């Protein structure tokens, strides 16, 4: 077989594999007229058929086919019968043998459920088989076993099957892909956003409460311990209140100059002394205020003249 033809046959059988699920060893249903044609050309039918399908094959002949060969009046009847004995016998539903071609026609039906290849010479049967999707048809042509080109029905059927498998047209699929992509991207963004907000803005509220409570409890426990220490030094409650009053104004540098006297008064535990200090402070504040108002009035009087 020429390389070019072998290649085209290989491609054809790949099509049947992909479109209709054909697998090696291919099952070739051989009709009695094909066996006779092969015998007349003295062809090694098995080898030629395997070449044509470019792979290993099982050869089947029906009971009706065998009975037809036995009844044959052809000059090549004997050779045909010996050739058919090498083939597997396929059961058919016919108790009484029917013509071999009719038997094959019935077995093939409209679907070729068993994924048979058919080797047949009869033109009518070949024409009928072309209407069944996915039937590789073989016949003897000038002492060569030929694999027919795949029929339009087979092509259409394979296309339809592909579409059924996917269930969508190309446009629908592309649209679906776009929608899926968008949905994926949106999901990804949402996840990212969630992560960002969840981190620093809203930590575990339970952890915050615990952290805030612990120092407070520590203070309450430590203060009573420190108080007895102060009592030992002999600081009275009155002096503590005075300290609180003074403590608010400690930031002023003027007060710092008088701290020795205050401290002395506080240390002595004399409430009168602390009162004096407060009075003195009030006086000073008043005088400072008066000075400020005087300055303001001067500024106001000068403003119009300038
Ligand atoms: Zn039959």
Question: How many Å lie between the centroid of ligand 1 and the Cα of residue 131?
Answer: 21
Dig out the tokens for 304 from the structure. Answer: 């119009």
DSSP classification of residue 197: H
DSSP 3-state percent helix, strand, coil across the chain (nearest 5): 65, 10, 25
Dig out the tokens for 297 from the structure. Answer: 């009035």
Question: How many Å lie between the centroid of ligand 1 and the Cα of residue 252?
Answer: 123
Question: How many Å lie between the centroid of ligand 1 and the Cα of residue 116?
Answer: 15
Question: How many Å lie between the centroid of ligand 1 and the Cα of residue 31?
Answer: 11
Question: How many Å lie between the centroid of ligand 1 and the Cα of residue 227?
Answer: 117
Q: What is the pLDDT of residues 72-83, one digit of tens each?
A: 999 999 999 999
d(CA 291, CA 285): 10
**Alpha helices, DSSP H, located in the chain:** 3-20, 32-40, 45-53, 63-71, 77-84, 100-108, 123-130, 152-166, 170-198, 205-233, 237-247, 253-268, 271-305
Question: How many Å lie between the centroid of ligand 1 and the Cα of residue 62?
Answer: 6
Q: Specify the pLDDT at position 70.
A: 95
Q: What is the pLDDT of residues 174-221, one digit of tens each?
A: 888 888 889 888 888 777 666 555 556 777 777 776 655 555 554 444
Least confident of 41-45, 66-70, 116-120, 295-299: 295-299
Question: How many Å lie between the centroid of ligand 1 and the Cα of residue 155?
Answer: 29
Q: Specify the pLDDT at position 14.
A: 94
């Amino acid at each position: 077989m020429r390389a070019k033809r072998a290649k085209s046959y290989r491609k054809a059988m790949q099509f049947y594999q992909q479109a209709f699920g054909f697998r090696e060893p291919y099952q070739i249903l051989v009709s009695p007229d094909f066996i006779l044609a092969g015998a007349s050309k003295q062809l090694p039918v098995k080898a030629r058929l395997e070449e044509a399908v470019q792979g290993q094959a099982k050869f089947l002949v029906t009971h009706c086919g065998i009975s037809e060969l036995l009844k044959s009046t052809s000059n090549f009847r004997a050779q045909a019968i010996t050739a058919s004995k090498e083939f597997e016998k396929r059961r058919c539903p016919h108790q009484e043998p029917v013509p071999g071609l009719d038997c094959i026609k019935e077995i093939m039906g409209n679907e070729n459920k068993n994924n048979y290849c058919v080797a047949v010479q009869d033109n009518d049967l070949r024409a009928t088989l072309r209407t069944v999707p996915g039937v590789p048809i073989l016949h003897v042509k000038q002492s060569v076993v030929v694999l027919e080109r795949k029929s339009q029905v087979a092509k259409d059927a394979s296309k339809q099957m592909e579409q059924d498998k996917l269930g969508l047209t190309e446009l629908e699929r592309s649209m679906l892909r776009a929608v899926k992509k968008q949905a994926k991207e949106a999901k990804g963004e949402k996840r990212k956003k969630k992560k960002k907000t969840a981190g620093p803005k809203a930590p575990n509220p339970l952890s915050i409460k615990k952290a805030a409570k612990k120092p407070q409890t520590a203070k309450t426990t430590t203060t009573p311990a420190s108080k007895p220490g102060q009592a030992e030094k002999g600081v009275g409650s009155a002096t503590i209140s005075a300290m609180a009053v003074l403590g608010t104004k400690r930031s002023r540098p003027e007060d710092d100059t008088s701290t020795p006297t205050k401290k002395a008064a506080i240390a002595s535990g004399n409430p009168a002394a602390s009162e004096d200090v407060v009075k003195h402070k009030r006086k000073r504040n008043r005088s400072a205020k008066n000075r400020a108002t005087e300055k303001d009035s001067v500024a106001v009087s000068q403003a119009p003249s300038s």
